[in-house]
Amino acid sequence: MKNFILLILSFFITQIAQAQPAQIDFKIFGKVYYTDKTPVADWDVKIINGSGLEVIVKTDKNGAYATFVKVNKDSITAFEVITRDPCATSAVSRKTEYNGRSQSSGPIDFIICKSNTGSGACPVKFTFTTAADGTVVFTAEPDYPGAEYSWKFGDGLTDVGKTVKHKYARNGAYEVTVTVKLPNCTSSNVQKIVINSNPNPPNPNYSTNASCCGKLNVKAITSSSTTGYNFKFVATADYKINAVTWDFGDGKTGTGIEVEHQYDSLGTYKVKARIVGDNCVIEMNMTVQVTDRKVSNGNPCAFDFNYTVDRAGLVTFTSKFGTKYEKLSWEFGDGTSSTDENPTHQYTKAGEYKVSLTAVINGVPCTLTKVIKISNVANNPCPNDFEVKLDSLTASFSFVSTTKPDSVYWFFGDSSTSNEINPKHTYAKAGTYPVILVLYFNGVPCRLVKPIKLGNVRGSTVEISIKEVNPNPAASDLTVTVKSNGAYTVDLHIADVTGGAIQKHTLNLVDGENKVPLMVDSLQVGVYYIIIYHNGTPVTKATFQKI
Rounded to an integer, what distance in angstroms lies between the CA atom of residue 336 and that of residue 323? 26
% helix, strand, coil for the chain, step of 5: 5, 55, 40
Question: How far apart, in Å, do the first and last CA atoms of the chain sit?
Answer: 92
Per the document, the length of the chain is 547
Looking at residue 348, what is its pLDDT? 66
Compute the C-alpha angle 267/272/275, nearest 5°.
155
d(CA 517, CA 512): 16
User: Is the bond preceding residue 183 a cis peptide, omega within 30 degrees?
Assistant: no
Q: What is the pLDDT of residue 204?
A: 28
- Give the pLDDT confidence score for residue 59 in this predicted structure: 94
Q: Which domains does the chain have, with CATH numbers?
A: 21-112 (2.60.40.1120), 125-209 (2.60.40.10), 214-290 (2.60.40.10), 297-454 (2.60.40.10), 464-546 (2.60.40.10)
DSSP at 536: T
pLDDT at 301: 64
Q: What is the pLDDT of residue 105?
A: 74
Instruction: Report, as ranges of residue numbers, the positions in the chain whose pLDDT lies below 50.
Output: 16-17, 116-120, 198-211, 226, 294-298, 378, 457-459
Per DSSP, helices labelled H in 364-438 are: none
* Structure-derived torsion over alpha carbons of residues 149, 153, 157, 161, reported in degrees to the nearest 10: -20
Verdict on whether the full-model pTM lies above 0.75: no
3-state secondary structure of 425: strand
Q: Letter for the amino acid at 385?
A: D
Q: Please tell me the predicted confidence (pLDDT) of residue 57.
A: 92
Residue 257 burial (C-beta neighbours within 10 Å; 0-12, 13-18, 19+): middle
Return the SS3 of 68.
strand
